[in-house]
Amino acid sequence: MYLYNLTLSRASGIQCAVYGNFSAPKAQEIVVSRGKTLELLRPDDTGRVQTIFSTEVFGCIRSLAPFRLTGASRDYIIVGSDSGRIVILEYIKEQNYFKKIHQETYGKSGCRRIVPGQYLAVDPKGRACLIGAMEKQKLVYVLNRDQAANLTISSPLEAHKSHNIVFCIVGLDMGFDNPVFAAIELDYADADQDPTGEAAGNAQKQLTLYELDLGLNHVTRKWSQEVDNGANLLVPVPGGADGPGGVLVCAENFIIYSNQDHADVRAVIPRRTSLLTDRGVLIVSYATHKQKSLFFFLVQSEYGDLYKVTLAYSGDTVTELKIKYFDTIPTCTSICVLKTGFLFAASEFGNHALYQFLSIGDDDDAVEASSAELMETQEGFQPVFFDPRPLQNLRLVDEVESMSPIMDFKVANLLKEEIPQLYAMCGRGARSTLRVLRPGLAATEIAVSPLPGNPTAVWTLKRSVNDAFDAYIIVSFTNATLVLSIGETVVEVNDSGFLGTVPTLRTQLLSDDSMLQIHPSGLRHIRADRRVNEWRAPGRRTIVKAATNEQQVVIALSGGELIYFELSLTGQLMEVEKKELSGDVVCLDIAPVPEGRQRSRFLAVASYDSSVRILSLDPEDMMSALAVQMVNAVPESLLFIDSPAADIAGKGEDATGAGGLFLNIGLLNGVLLRTEVDKVTGQLSDTRTRFLGTRPPKLFAVFVRGKRSMLALSSRPWLGYSDMGRYTLAPLSYEALDYASGFASDQCPEGFCAVSKGMLRILTLERLGEAFNQQVTRLRYTPRKFVVHPESNMLIVAEADHAAVPLAERAAMEDAMEADTAFTDGIEFDEDRAAVEEQHGAPKNSAGRWASCVRVLDPTSLQTSSVLELDGNEAAVSLCLLRFSNWPEEGMVLAVGTVQGLAFYPRTADEGFIRLYRFKDAGRRLELIHKTATGGIPGALAPFKGRLLAGVGSTLRIYDAGKKKLLRKCEHRKLPTHIATLATSGDRIYVGDLQESMHYFRYKANENALYEYADDIAPRHMTAALPLDYDTVACADKFCNIFVTRLPRDVSSQVEEDPTGGKFAGVAGLLNGAAHKLEDVVNFHVGDLVTSLQRAVLQPGGREVLLYATVMGAIGAMLPFTSREDVDFFSHLEMHLRQEHPPLGGRDHMSYRGSYFPVKDAIDGDLCEQFSQLPAAKQKSIAEELERTPGEILKKLEDIRNQVY
Amino acid sequence: MATLQDRFNINSQLEHLQAKYVGTGHADLSRFEWAVNIHRDSYASYIGHHPILSYFAIAENESIGRVKYNMTQKMLLPCGVPPEKEEEL
């Protein structure tokens, strides 16, 4: 088995974000790391955050830092990763890519304790950077520029200190004095040696300054001082001419200003009134805002509260430190203050957000803690309290969707649509959501209005070529034409000059601002001054088809005659040439006029004999055939599109060779062909095919991101556009349309208007580049697992939160509870209150306290039909649907595994239960049948031959139904750790252990015994398992790997037949293992923790793939190869790309994919797809090695992607 | 006096490794020391891999920053107080 890994939807969680000017001076940009992808984001003028560029780095990014050389106006990006190398990147705006400026190796690869990469600190003046490890090692690189103003990097200077754990490192602002880095360090040398524990108790964190002496080229430990033992984060304070310098030490409950030769200035962090007294307040992210005359810091606590920190100082002496409550937003991994007055918040889990500053919190009366008012009492420092309030200083401008983390997902077609939907359980705590994903772009309806009669076609026209927005919408019916004018409202007009009594075939705004209407009996040319020229079709012939651009018009008459017109310099449409064809024309199209040219050279004509001809429109060889392509069905529609790559071709390194003109042909059988047209000779080559749907695709040109793109209307609409330099054909999640045209107006700068079923619709696409569009509904607690009821199609979700207060006990809820007693098992708490909780976070409880519920949800309306809140500190951890064979009258029941008082480190629980529910009201409500104590944590449940199979702690057990309780029938006690996953197939049971990989079991009915016959040799920490066939299971582990494990064939048959009559049951393996061992057939490091695996076909006629969802919110697919030839081709392509295009982060691709286990029989499609980003010369050389052309390779890549969806 | 041979013998090579790479074992390594090293390495690895850190944060329902801080803090004494050294015989 060979698998091809393809990321369908990139990770959407953010690991860290940095702000800077990367593409141009003053450009407000954010570079984010999504774990293994690096992205450049930029808020556009309307405040929407746009992804400008995204690339996979095939490494684990751990830290990012922007830095700029003194006097420069743009920032570089330093990347600290698991590659054992420091990498400096520059964003190249013209070609839209990250250029690797420097890559210096300093250590082993991997996220190791003493190999730097975890911490990055830069000197604010851009003279040096420090890259540090969790322990011991710190390397300082001196950065400079050479005479040609190129960035140079020195060899590293060591600032190691053994036995020191590092909590944080920052670069201090020293003005132009020697660069200094500050670190929080904790020495463990003594604690390791002292058996009394006294040394460990006395261990003291130190704030240490490391000075880089630029003159001596040497790093020294300059100064060290004891610091609060709760210190976790440092914030550098502007120095030199801008401020007092030094550093803010953020510690649990305190922020302390500290500097060399300066007494500490300490202030308490205000805490929420509702917070339990034993909980501290830890600062987790910060941003500094610096203007000419003032600076302040925004810091965020672990609960999401933002504080504004200001310093009062004179000269170098800080007199007061103030911490003022600012606002509350969801907890972030990074926050960035943009110079334009925005705050970008990269949330830990759930959607990210862009906020606008309404004020900087100067003149409100929010709670403030000051160092001057610090009160020390006998129990420590006097705390300051506040209550979170709705946003006051910030205003939400844009939300960036994030699915991180996907806890569980399933693919099912519950809504009876053409393609199945993905149901993903995302988020955590109060920000949990159920998202229904459909492959395709989300189309937003701006307006829908009914039209009289049944429209056949629609166009939009501008008033002048230079206008930004459209002025008219022209709708054609079978016997009439309607002209609508776009203004404040859309109204019908009669003074446009268009003929209303005939149907229209085509309209066009010509380059001299005159308008053209083509109708069956002639051409109507409406000059800019409203004079009208008419051209009538000769004799009884009518115009059947027409194609136009701003300069040229071609019409096809019935009987197969082509007439070609050109716009003359005097503004007249002149007939230039005629051509008789042998038969009727089905469709035709003219290529757009290339920039700076008079006319386009190519006309494409399709006829009923299934041929497409390219005719020349050059005066020299007018109407001569340049090329012919035979297609396998009658064409329906033709469209020329410039390839998006065309405009960057030849501009240097990253330009692709694929730039060119493409002819798109929609065929009657629903297939879309895309053929490259040679821009000089008109020759057709390199045809790609794609099945779009059951209706013949009609093709229309629309503008997407300012580029002419293609809208193809089949049984669903598709959009062919350029996404980050790559041509993408993506379906729209919208109903079928009949006819469409581009549309631009004030409210909708880039959209399209379309007609379907007597309605005029104006649509816009908001989130381009996203593979799935989402429908979201809120959940109450973190979703753990869910199942789909096969008959009622209802979703049943188990939700549970650790250290949370159950809804009924929340103080804010009590009043509501009194008003409405049916509240906890009622429908859902109201939307306003949920929104507040989402903003402020759910209240915290002490460890070992749980809040949990089981929810039944209707997938059609996304409405909750019932919620059962669990009481008694129970948490639902597993669930399954089953039918008991000894209880057939009950039908399908739901088993929910719950655990009471679950606590971690170590994992203990008071008691576990299996609750059995029956369905009521057609599956909309649950009713408890009974509850059975299990004596352990029921981590996994599965139906097995009309009984219930349960993994209880490390015990595998079979239960049968009883009237009062579940009855234990059989058990196996000896699993190594804890059962995490259970799956069954026939007699076989596949058990995934929390730490010890897969175990295969068999149930012997006549002996009523479970016995283990095979296990894995590697200790895998299982998170998900999915049986592929009787012998094979696809699994995912906690260390971000996917693997497929298989029972060897001979063992499989032995086990099945077992002629000895149960001898195998008695055979014991060595060292407590099973008698047989599983073999890994595929091994692949995904680089992201996979939480769920599914098998699915994502499109009609598509192939079945293995889908996975991850903690960072990515969805990927593993496609099994069907031919040896493809395997060879792709493994060679992958091999060449590894050499020719090493990953951006500096990690070796093969070692990354084999981080834990050597990569086996899996080909990385994400790397292969980067082939299209290579410069043309490199593409060519790789293609030659593979004995193909670059076009063929690109085609293969596209084909294999199209097999998935 | 160290000769060329000494420099390449196995002991000095080991010493060099032990000095350079924290956690390199030796013949007299105790069970406790070994466990401490493994735990510190594991914590450092968890902190380095953001998805794994997030996974812990979800389980504990704490912020990622808090989980990271707790793990770094645990690196001080990952396996508790060291046992009393046995008297050398």
Q: What is the pLDDT along chain B (89 residues), one digit of tens a residue?
A: 556 666 667 778 888 888 888 888 888 889 999 999 999 999 999 999 999 999 999 999 999 999 999 999 999 999 999 988 765 54
Residues written for chain A: 1205
- Contacts of A308 by beta carbon, 8 Å cutoff, 6+ apart: A296, A297, A298, A323, A324, A326, A360, A361
Nearest to B54 among A60, A197, A1111 (CB): A1111
Q: Are A826 and A867 in contact (CB under 8 A)?
A: yes
Q: What backbone phi and psi angles, to 5 degrees, belong to A127?
A: -100, -20
Question: For residue A718, what pLDDT is reported?
Answer: 92
CA separation for the pair A575, A264 (Å, rounded): 88
Per-position DSSP letters for A1021-1037, written without gaps between them: -EEEEEE-SSSEEEEEE
Distances (CA, A) of B13 to A137, A667, B30: 21, 72, 21
Q: What is the DSSP letter of A237?
A: P
Strand partners, A1083: A1043, A1160
Quote the pLDDT of residue A647: 40
CA-atom Rg of chain A in angstroms = 33
DSSP for residue A264: E
Tokens 């809120």 appear where?
Answer: A778
Q: What angle do CA A132, A137, A139 make, to 5 degrees?
A: 60
What is the C-alpha to C-alpha distance for residues A938 and A953, in angstroms, rounded to an integer?
6
On whether any CB of chain A is under 8 Å from the CB of B70, the answer is no
Q: Are A779 and A799 in contact (CB under 8 A)?
A: yes
| Residues 11 through 30 of chain B touching chain A, CB cutoff 8 Å | 21-23
Any idea what the Cα angle at residue A1006 is, between residues A1003 and A1012, rounded to 5°? Answer: 25
For residue A652, the 8-state DSSP code is S
Contact yes or no for B58 and A405 at CB 8 A: yes
- Cβ-Cβ contacts under 8 Å, A802 against chain B: 59-61
How many Cβ atoms sit within 10 Å of the Cβ of residue A933? Answer: 12
Q: How many CA atoms lie within 13 A of A113 on its CB side?
A: 23
Q: What is the DSSP string of A1121-1142?
A: P--HHHHHHHHHHHHHHHHHS-
- Dihedral, CA of residue A392, residue A398, residue A404 and residue A409, to nearest 10: 120
Tell me the residues of chain A between 28 and 87 that have a Cβ less than 8 Å away from chain B.
35, 60, 62, 82
* Closest Cα in chain B, distance from residue A802 (Å): 6
Helices B50-60 and B64-74: crossing angle in degrees, nearest 10, is: 100
pLDDT at A808 (0 to 100):
79
**Chain B positions in Cβ-Cβ contact with residue A114 (cut-off 8 Å):** 21-23
Contact between residue A235 and residue A297 where contact means Cβ atoms under 8 Å apart: yes
pLDDT single digits (tens) B51-61 = 999 999 999 99
| DSSP code for A816 | H
Extract the tokens encoding A152: 């140079």
Residue A954's CB: how many other CB atoms inside 10 A? 19
Q: How far, in Å, CA of A332 to CA of A253, rounded?
A: 18
- Cα angle A332, A336, A338; round to 5: 150
Cα radius of gyration rounded to whole Å, chain B: 18
Chain B residue with Cα closest to A197: B81
A1160 phi, psi to nearest 5 deg: -135, 130
CA distance A26 to chain B (A): 31
**For chain B, how many residues are written?**
89
Q: Which residues contact B11 (CB under 8 A, 6 or more apart)?
A: none
| pLDDT value, residue A818 | 53
What amino acid occupies position A1127?
A: V
Q: Are B51 and A232 an interchain contact pair (Cβ–Cβ within 8 Å)?
A: no
* Contact of A427 with A433, CB cutoff 8 Å: yes
pLDDT recorded at residue A1062: 57
Please tell me the distance in Å from B88's CA to the nearest CA on chain A.
Answer: 16
Q: Which residue of A has its CA nearest to B46?
A: A111
d(CA A1004, CA A1061): 10
> What value, to the nearest 5°, has the Cα angle with vertex A544 and ends A543 and A547?
90
In terms of phi and psi (left: phi > 0; alpha: psi -120 to 50; beta: otherwise), the region of A342 is beta
Q: Please, how many CA atoms are within 13 Å of residue A179, restricted to the half-sphere of its CB?
A: 24
What DSSP line would sit under B34-58, residue for residue?
Answer: HHHHHHHHHHHHHHH-HHHHHHHHH
Spatial distance between the Cα atoms of A743 and A486, rounded to a whole number of angstroms? 10
Question: β-strand A739-743 against A352-357: which pairing, if any?
Answer: unpaired
List chain B residues with CB under 8 Å of A272: none
> Contact at 8 Å (CB) between A1036 and A1042?
yes
CB count in 10 Å sphere of residue A805:
20
| A224: CB partners within 8 A, 6+ apart | A206, A207, A208, A209
CA A1002, A1003, A1006 angle in degrees (round to 5)? Answer: 140
What's the pLDDT score for residue B5?
66
Q: Which residues of A touch B22 (CB under 8 A)?
A: 113-114, 135-136, 162
- Partners of residue A312 on adjacent β-strands: A320
Place of tokens 């149907």: A503
Is the separation of the CB atoms in B46 and B71 below 8 Å?
yes
Residues of A in contact with B57 (CB under 8 A): 348, 428
> Is-contact A612 A603, C-beta < 8 A?
no
Residue with tokens 């399933």: A410
Q: Give phi and psi for A1201, each to the nearest 5.
A: -65, -40
State the maximum Cα–Cα separation within chain B, in Å, rounded to a whole number. 60
- Written in H, E and C, the secondary structure of A896-944 is EEEEECCECCCCECCEEEEEEEEEECCCCEEEEEEEEECCCCEEEEEEE
A 186-245 near B (Cβ less than 8 A): 186, 188, 191-197, 200, 203, 232
CB atoms B54 and A1089 under 8 Å: yes
Query: Which one, of B64, B77, B18, B17, lies nearest residue A193 by Cα?
Result: B77
Which residue in A has a C-alpha nearest to residue B52's C-alpha?
A1089
What is the three-class DSSP state of A1056? helix
Is A333 within 8 Å of B64 when comparing Cβ atoms? yes
Cβ within 8 Å, pair A1112-B60: no
Integer Cα distance of A1107 and A8 in angstroms: 9
Work out whether strand A1162-1164 and strand A3-9 pair parallel, antiparallel, or are unpaired. Answer: parallel
Judged by CB atoms closer than 8 Å, whether chains meet at A1111 and B51 is answered as yes
pLDDT at position A375 is 83
Closest-approach residue (CA) in chain B for A12: B51
The torsion angles phi and psi of A274, rounded to 5 degrees, stand at -75, -5
Residues A343 and A390: beta-carbon distance below 8 Å? no
Task: Measure CB to CB from residue A1110 to each of B51, B58, B63 and give the nearest one.
Answer: B51
- What global pTM score does this model have? 0.91
Question: Is some CB atom of chain B closer than 8 A to the CB atom of A1036?
Answer: no
| Angstrom distance (rounded) from CA A561 to CA A541 | 10
Work out whether the CA dihedral A1126, A1129, A1132, A1133 comes out positive or negative. Answer: negative
Is the CB of A591 inside 8 Å of chain B's CB atoms?
A: no
CB contact under 8 A, A165 and B83: no
Task: Report which residue type is found at A260.
Answer: Q
Would an 8 Å CB–CB cutoff place B59 in contact with chain A? yes
B38 inside 8 A of chain A by CB: no
DSSP state of A610: T
CA dihedral (A154, A159, A160, A166) positive or negative: negative
What is the token pair recorded at A482? 């309607």
Whole-angstrom distance, CA of residue A813 vs CA of residue A821: 11
Which residues neighbour A800 within 8 Å (Cβ) at sequence distance 6 or greater? Answer: A781, A782, A784, A850, A851, A852, A853, A875, A876, A877
| HSE toward the beta carbon, residue A430, CA cutoff 13 A | 25
Please indicate whether, in this complex, the C-beta atoms of B82 and A162 are within 8 angstroms of each other.
no
Name the one residue in this structure whose structure tokens are 């009201």: A921
Task: Report how far residue A1002's alpha carbon sits from residue A1205's, in angstroms, rounded to the nearest whole number.
Answer: 37
Q: Among residues A548, A544, A541, A545, which one has the least CA distance to residue A525?
A: A548
What are the per-10-residue average pLDDT scores of chain A (1205 residues)? 94 95 94 95 89 93 94 94 95 91 94 95 95 95 92 94 95 93 95 90 94 94 94 94 93 95 94 91 95 92 95 93 95 95 95 94 87 85 92 93 94 89 94 92 87 90 88 91 87 87 92 91 89 88 92 91 90 89 90 86 92 91 90 93 54 44 92 89 87 91 87 91 79 89 86 89 83 88 95 95 87 56 50 82 90 93 90 94 93 96 93 96 93 95 96 95 94 92 93 95 88 91 95 96 95 77 62 87 96 92 92 96 95 95 94 95 95 90 93 89 84
